[in-house]
Amino acid sequence: MSKLPLKFLDKAAEYSRQIDYDRPASGQIYAFIRDAIVAMELEPGQLISEAALAAKFGVSRTPVREALIKLANLGFVNVLPQRGTYVSRLSLEKIIEARFIREALEVSVVSHLAENVNKDVIKAAENIIAEQKAAAEVDDALLFQRLDDDFHQLLASYTGYQRMASMIEQEKAHMDRVRNLSLHISGQYKCVLAQHRAIIRAIKSGSVSGAASAMSTHLREVYKVLETLPKEHPEYFQ
């Protein structure tokens, strides 16, 4: 793949009118490109033109370059000297490793929260679940996943450990596209919602073992997707 998809470029041009120049443009451009990669609007192997993006966003190449550097650090793109910047292909090894690390971190998170029950985090988590249910009803996979991210980041933030949320974000990047693709499997919205509710019920009841088990079950869901996705879309993988 060489030229950026026309649909993506049209959306970029539209998005340029929404950029708030009172805030750093690079962060907003990063979020737009990341969402396009996660939603598979930019598929693995797609060449990304820094100059084309700068033109569409109506900015200099500097904020685009900064956005691409952050995406590269998270593993969404590969910057190849003298060749260009490409959307990274999925790595089964990295996905499985990221899931393992996330389980280690997030089981600790929910265990801590179950030991130290806080009504505020429970209420906030239940509100996110309600928003996810609404997103599922209109089949908005990207919004559903953003709210999924919010759910996990919320839980991490209530541990009081400042680095926890950023560590989880770093690892989940390897799983984001697989997670998005999984939402198109029949019944997956319902499954994720049920798992989130189970996690919160266990925290609310103060059950450390229950919260840990519910989170492990939730994060191991990716294995089901990995049984079929590489066979259906071998072009997405390394």
CATH code of the domain in which 108 resides: 1.20.120.530
Residues 97, 195: one domain?
yes
Domain count, the chain: 2
- Label residue 15 by pLDDT band (50, 70, 90): very high
Residues 145, 213: one domain?
yes
- Residue 143 falls within a domain, yes or no? yes
Residues 51, 160: one domain?
no
Q: Picking from 68-77, 124-133, 200-209, which range would have the lowest pLDDT averaged per residue?
A: 68-77
What CATH number does residue 40 fall under?
1.10.10.10
- Residue 125 falls within a domain, yes or no? yes
Residues 130, 27: one domain?
no
Residues 220, 109: one domain?
yes
- Label residue 1 by pLDDT band (50, 70, 90): low
Among candidate residues 68, 87, 106, the one where a domain is terminated: 87
Q: What is the pLDDT of residues 208-232, one digit of tens each?
A: 999 999 999 999 988 888 888 888 8
Q: Is 58 left (phi over 0), alpha (psi -120 to 50) or beta?
A: left
- Residue 163 falls within a domain, yes or no? yes
Domain extent for 208: 92-236
pTM equals 0.85
Residues 68, 101: one domain?
no
- Residue 123 falls within a domain, yes or no? yes
Among candidate residues 72, 87, 102, the one where a domain is terminated: 87
Q: What is the pLDDT of residues 91-142, one digit of tens each?
A: 999 899 999 999 999 999 999 999 999 999 999 999 999 999 999 999 998 8
- Residue 117 falls within a domain, yes or no? yes
Looking at residue 220, its pLDDT comes to 94
Distances (CA, A) of 63 to 13, 28, 91, 210: 15, 9, 28, 45
Contact yes or no for 145/180 (Cβ under 8 A):
yes
- Residue 198 falls within a domain, yes or no? yes
Among candidate residues 42, 59, 87, the one where a domain is terminated: 87
Residues 63, 159: one domain?
no
Enumerate helices (H) and strands (E) in the chain, giving the number of each. 13, 3
Residues 28, 103: one domain?
no
Residues 137, 228: one domain?
yes
Residues 67, 109: one domain?
no
Residues 90, 113: Cα–Cα separation, whole Å: 33
Q: Count CB neighbours of 173 within 10 A.
A: 19
- Residue 161 falls within a domain, yes or no? yes
Looking at residue 225, its pLDDT comes to 85
Is the pLDDT higher at 175 or at 193? 193
- Residue 1 falls within a domain, yes or no? no
Looking at residue 229, its pLDDT comes to 86
* Mean pLDDT within 28-34: 95
Residues 82, 99: one domain?
no
Looking at residue 137, its pLDDT comes to 97
Looking at residue 2, its pLDDT comes to 62
Alpha helix (H) residue ranges in 39-91? 50-57, 61-74
Residues 37, 148: one domain?
no
Share of the chain above pLDDT 70, in %: 99
